[in-house]
Chains A and B, each alone.
Chain A
C-alpha cells in the first residue's frame, strides 16, 4: 500500500517539477526575447552569429534540399503515374516542399547542426566559468552572449528554409523533366497554378520563423542550463536535438491544422 502511495507521490512530484520547469523555461524565453530586442543595437555581434549559424549551415541545407527534391521527383512520379496524373509532378513537388518539407526538414537539420553547436558552445562557456566571469564583470551574459545568437538563428532559419525549398524544387525539376521526361511546360505551369503565394509560400515562411524561434530557444536554454561538466555538455547536446525535433514536429502539426484547414 505504501508503495502505491509512494508511487503516486513520486508522480505528483514529477508533475510539479515539470510545471516548475515549464514556468522557468517560459520566463527564460520571455527574458531572452526582451533582451534580444535591445541586442539589435549591437549589429556587429548579430552579424557574426548569422555568419556562424547561417553560412556554416548552408552546405548541409543545400545538399539535403537537392536530394530531397530528387527523391520527391522520383517518388512523386511513380505515385502519380498510377493515377495518370504525371503532369501534376511540379505541383506535388512544390507544395510538399513549400508547405511542409522545406520548413520542417530545414528546422530538423538546423537543430542537428547549428542547435548542437550552440548548445555545446554555451555549455562549454558555462563550464569554463566564462559566463560567470562575465557576470562578475557586470555584463549580463544573456544580453551579450545569448541574445545575439538568438537573433542570428531567427534571421538565418527562414532564409535557410526558403533556400531548402528552392533548391528542392530545382532538384525535382532536374529529376522530373530531365531524367524522367515530364513535360517542362506542364511541370512549371501546373506548379504556378497550384501554389499560392500567400497561403502556401507565405505560411511556409511563417512556419520556418516559428521553428527558428523554437530551435534557437531550445539550443540556448539547454546549453545555459547544462551541468558544467563534460558529460553535462554532451548530454545537453543530445537533449537539444531531441527536444528541438519533437517541438518542431509538434508545432508543425499545430500550425498545419491552423493554416491549412479550410
Chain B
C-alpha cells in the first residue's frame, strides 16, 4: 500500500462521508427550503401563543413565507410579542391578520397570515394589529363544560 494509494482512499472516504452529510442535509432535511433570501421583520402581539416556538414557520395560504425569529413578553401589556422574519419577495397589506394555528390535530403550531385589503403594505418593523391567539385546549373544554352546565341550569 503506497503512500499515494492510502491518501487517495482516505480522500475518497472523507469525500463519501461529506457527501452523506450533504445528502442528509439537503434531500432528507429541510435545508433546501431554507431560504437564505433576505427578509424583513414584523412583530405581532398575542394574548396567548400556546406552543409556538422560535423558528416555527409563518405560513400564508399554506405556503411557508417566513420564520418566527424571537418570542418575548411585554410586561406593560402582559402580552406575548412575537418577532417574525418574512421573505423579502412577499409583501402583505397593513391589515393582515396573524393567527396561531396548529398543523393537524396535535401537531406543531405555526403563524398563519391572512391578508386584508389595505392598499399599503407592511413596512419592516411594523406591527400586525389583528391577531388571534392560540386555541388552548383546556379553555375550550372549560367553555364546553360551562356551556353544558349553564344549559342544564337554565332547563
Q: Which residues of A contact B (CB under 8 A)?
A: 44, 47-48, 50-51, 54-55, 58, 94, 98, 155-156, 158-160, 162-163, 165-167, 169, 188, 191-193, 195-197, 200-201, 205, 262
Contacts and interface: CB of A to CB of B under 8 A. Distances in A.
Interface residues of B, number: 25
A119 to B, nearest CB: 22
Given A162-B24, A192-B29, A195-B28, A262 B53 contact: yes
Interface stretch (B3-11, B89-97, B120-128, B138-146): B3-11
B30 A47 contact: no
A188 B27 contact: yes
Nearest to A94: B28
Contact of B13 (A58, A195, A262): A58
In this complex, which of A54, A159, A169, A262 has the most chain B Cβ atoms within 10 angstroms of its Cβ?
Answer: A159
A58 B14 CA distance: 11
Contact of A201 (B3, B14, B29, B53): B29
A200 B6 CA distance: 33
Contacts of B24: 98, 162, 165-166, 169, 201
A-B complex: 8 closest residue pairs judged by Cβ atoms: A159-B17, A166-B20, A197-B29, A162-B20, A163-B20, A197-B31, A162-B21, A195-B29
A51 B10 contact: yes
Contacts of A195: 28-30
16 contacts: A44-B3, A47-B10, A51-B10, A54-B10, A58-B13, A94-B28, A98-B28, A159-B21, A166-B23, A166-B24, A191-B28, A192-B29, A192-B33, A196-B29, A201-B21, A201-B25
B13 A192 contact: no
Nearest to A62: B16
B32 interface: yes
Interface of B: 3, 6-7, 9-10, 13-14, 16-21, 23-25, 27-34, 53
A201 B16 contact: no
A98 B29 CA distance: 10
Contacts of B14: 50, 155, 159
Given A98-B24, A191-B28, 17 more contacts: A47-B7, A50-B10, A54-B13, A58-B13, A159-B13, A159-B14, A159-B17, A159-B18, A162-B17, A162-B21, A163-B16, A163-B20, A166-B20, A195-B28, A195-B29, A197-B29, A201-B28
A72 to B, nearest CB: 13
Nearest to B57: A193
In this complex, which of B27, B32, B33 has the most chain A Cβ atoms within 10 angstroms of its Cβ?
Answer: B27
Contacts of A165: 20, 24, 28
Contact of B28 (A54, A58, A192): A192
Nearest to A91: B28
Given A192-B29, A200-B29, A55 B53 contact: no
A54 B53 CA distance: 39
A156 B33 CA distance: 29
A158 B17 CA distance: 8
Contact of B34 (A98, A169, A197, A262): A197
Contacts of A47: 6-7, 10
Contacts of A155: 14
A100 B17 CA distance: 18
Nearest to A163: B20
